[in-house]
Structure 1
Amino acid sequence: MLRGVCALLVVLNHIRAFVFVDFHECIQPGIAVYAFYFLASLGHQAVIAFFALSGYLVGGRAFQSMIDGKWSSIDYAIARLSRLWTVVLPALIITFVLDKAGATLGGGAAYAGKYGVALASGPLLAAPADHSIATLLANLLFLQTITAPVYGSNGPLWSLANEFWYYVLFPIAASTVLLRKSLLYNIIAVFVVCVLVSSLPAELLMLGSIWCGAAAIAVVSRTEKFRKTIASSMYMTIATIATVVCIIMGSRNSAIWISIIAGLAWSFLLPALAVRRSESKAYRQVAFGLSEISYTMYATHFPILAFLYFVLIAPMQFQPNLEGFLIVLVLTLVTLASSSVLWWSFERNSTTIRIAISSLLHRK
């Protein structure tokens, strides 16, 4: 459920920026408006939670497989790349098609960055939507924010570069400690880690402490002693309070050190959430559905929303009134519907693709 909720918070953050004026421009906001704007301000915090989730699920399994002597770098690479590219490639195509269509239908100035200051993401006057082949290839290789900008209007793609390089960097570093490899392997691995650390942006590396910390906690949480601790109500209460406090702090201040602390708080909360299961069948179905489409939703929602806003609504922004909230509802439903269709068309096939590629390589 958490993955789906985080994706929805990112979507809500962007829809709010498209549809409504900034909070300081609201006329006599009530409690409901305060609550809405607070939820809509949690987009960045949701991405931080994504990093913790990724470290806990992907990194935790990777580190544990090394400890158990079951690690396969080839299988790991196939699993990660098939998962990423199955969504990223369609997302880049959708971005190109909608951006070009939007510019043709009257949104050219918007894609050049006319409304960039008012939005939480997307093109800026100083950095208009870039649809060059070089930028497309850089995004396919997860080099956005490193050697190139994000592709077109799709600002949220910035975090996928972080994810990819965490997948690469931390398992290589961990392998020098957790795997029994030759001295030559360890020398090469350390050299690769040093090259990556010296080449990747400082902020990307600093936020990587969340991914690595969550992976370590995932491994520790499997020990018998820790399992008893995380099952306790006291652990759940303390971890929840710490996470909520960090989320509130993060909604008011986007300093990187606050993001790191919030991510580590999430990392400690995740084991407690993992051992608790809801008895509600309806909840489990909704949670499963939202979690399944969360990656597709995250990677594709912005160019879809940008197209609709730039062509149909811009430059209008609303006070938080009934008309505005109806538009928010429609855009949210459009996002959920399009994400579901795109998930069914592409992402749901990632496991099949992974198995096919793995079988082909192992056969050779």
Structure 2
Amino acid sequence: MSVSDLPPRDPLSRGLSLYLEALRIGAALAVFLTHLSDSRLTGGRWEWFLRLELGRDAVVVFFVLSGLIVARAAGRSGVTGRGFVFDRLTRLWSVALPALVLGWLLDRWGVAAAPWHYAEIAYQEIGLARALLLGATFSSEWLPFGELMGSNLPYWSLSYEAAYYALFACAVFLEGRVRIVALAIGLVAMGPGALALLPAWALGVWVWSRLEAGDLPKGVRAWAMALGPVLLIAPSLWLGLGPRMAERAFHLLGPEGMRVIRFGFIAPWALILAGLTALHLLGVAALLRDRAVRDRPWLRWAAGGTFSLYVVHQPVLHALRVRFDGMGETLARDAALALATLTICLVFAALFERTLGTQRRALRALVRRSATQGA
């Protein structure tokens, strides 16, 4: 067998793959802990953590990781447009749809027990049918909607991410005028909010293109790219640069502008953070490229439940909040609330996120059976 007959080396080394898994875990926990730190849940005892606004930053990191992984998936040998769409939709639906149903039930339960609590938080009453319609199409944040999925605030980012998947699929798998028209329709439909954060996701695609081309820094430059962004981000977080830029954008836009741009108001800092994250990943990729790294099954297992944690935790937190009031305003109560929420998210992941392969096989079998019966 000649060298040319060997399978191509995957640009995503094991070391970098594990690092990305660790980033997913860290980002999901940052979102969870940020919401847990809300004074309406834990009485202001963790206000210092809330002020860091790590939850927003974690979403930006998720966007960069998403762009990288989706670009890698689309570039695999034999992938078609139909297969790409199937994989992306099933990945989202397998978790998002049951999360919407669970969230709706928890909101009903929570509102009945403590209507005053839901009046204080970012909560929007929505019927189950409408939640499933907007949630399943991921159009809740597209024009002209702009609706929250009950108390599930993190769901907004899925709406943006699905729009990026659709645009990417149009750009890669369509051709000619059809591609131009589809991209134009997609850009208009997603609205200015998702458009403002699109460059953050696209930076992940760019990172993958550099990995695939083998265009990685070497030597001192690799260390500078790996460590430099961290040294810049750390003091920026401590000084509250991100929240200050977001607050400034919020005031400049005003109520009318916010209704249009929605969560895109975080773009000024988000794009800086996304750029630094992209450079950091290229530096880390270079440092880990030729290193022998043992696999870490426990790390991959933990990362395999991060989507569930991200999209389920907030309705659970709010629904359980009143149930833990009997413990008093103590650190033990905060720990119990966190542990109960994480346990529910882990059970949810076991039922839905970790069964994605089984769900896909069942859906394919159902499609084949329907096609055979209709022939």
> C-alpha separation between the residues in 2 aligned to 1:301 and 1:338?
8
Could you tell me which residue of structure 1 aligns to residue 41 of structure 2?
19
Residues 306-349 of structure 1: CA deviation (Å, up to 9, x unaligned): 001145449x996xxxx2x3233222222221111111111111
1:78-113: CA deviations, max 9, x gaps? 111111111011101111211112223x222333xx
Match of 1:201 in 2: 191
Question: After TM superposition, which residue ranges in structure 1, 4 or more long, deviate above 6 angstroms?
Answer: 277-281
Q: 2:139: which partner in 1?
A: 143
Residue identity opposite 2:133 in structure 1: L
Identity of aligned residues (%): 25
1:80 aligns with 2:88: yes
2: CA distance, partners of 1:230 / 1:358: 49
Answer whether contact 1:53 1:270 (CA < 8 A) is retained. Answer: no
> Residues of 1 paired with 2:70 and 2:115: CA distance?
40
Q: Which residue of 1 aligns with 2:107?
A: 99
CA separation of 1:245 and 1:198: change in aligned 2, threshold 3 A: farther
Instruction: State the 1:362 CA deviation.
Output: 7.3
Q: Counterpart in 1 of 2:280?
A: 269
* 1:229 shift after superposition: 6.6
In structure 1, what is the Cα distance between the partners aligned to 2:132 and 2:48?
38
Aligned counterparts, 1:281-296, within 5 A: 284=296, 286-296=298-308
Match of 2:181 in 1: 191
1:110 and 2:122 matched: no
Does structure 1 retain, via aligned residues, the 8 Å contact 2:34–2:49? no
Number of aligned residue pairs: give it.
322
Please state whether the residue corresponding to 1:145 is helix, strand or coil: coil
1:272-312 Cα shifts (integer Å, max 9, x gaps): 4456489688xx45532331111000110011100011454
Match of 1:234 in 2: 224
Counterpart of 2:355 in structure 1 is: 349
Contact 2:30 2:55 in 1 (8 A): yes
Q: Contact 2:171–2:183 (CA<8 Å) still a contact in 1? A: yes
How many angstroms does 1:7 deviate by? 0.8
Residue type at the aligned position of 1:348: R
1:329 to 321, 331, 335: 335
CA distance in 1, matches of 2:83, 2:233: 34
1:52 aligns with 2:64: yes
Q: Structure 2 length as normaliser, TM-score?
A: 0.76
Does 216-225 or 78-87 show the bigger shift? 216-225
Tell me which residue corresponds to 2:258: none
CA 269–230 in structure 1, closer or farther in 2 if over 3 Å, else same: farther
Quick one: which amino acid aligns to residue 32 of structure 2? V
**Which stretches in structure 1 are left out of the alignment for 5+ residues?**
27-32, 117-121, 177-184
Structure 1 residues 240, 222: closer, same or farther in 2, change over 3 A? farther
Aligned CA distance change for structure 1 residues 347 and 225 (closer, same or farther; 3 Å):
closer
Contact 1:301 1:339 in 2 (8 A): yes
Distance 1:267 1:94 in 2: 35
Quote the offset at 1:247 in angstroms.
4.8
How much has 1:201 moved relative to structure 2? 1.7
User: Does the 8 Å CA contact 1:56/1:215 hold for their aligned counterparts?
Assistant: yes
Aligned Cα root-mean-square deviation (Å): 3.0
Relative to structure 1, is the Cα distance of residues 334 and 312 closer, same or farther in structure 2, using a 3 angstrom cutoff? closer
Structure with higher RCO (Cα < 8 A, 6+ apart):
1
Query: What code does the residue aligned with 1:77 have?
Result: V
Distance 1:173 1:309, change over 3 A: same
Question: Does the C-alpha gap of structure 1 residues 331 and 312 become closer, same or farther in structure 2, counting only changes over 3 Å?
Answer: closer
Aligned ranges 1:54-73 → 2 under 5 Å = 54-62=66-74, 64-65=75-76, 70-73=78-81
Conserved in 1, the CA contact under 8 Å of 2:126 and 2:149? yes
Query: TM-score, normalized by length of structure 1?
Result: 0.78
The answer to whether the 8 A contact 1:246-1:261 is kept is: no
User: How many angstroms apart in 2 are the aligned matches of 1:166 and 1:87?
Assistant: 18
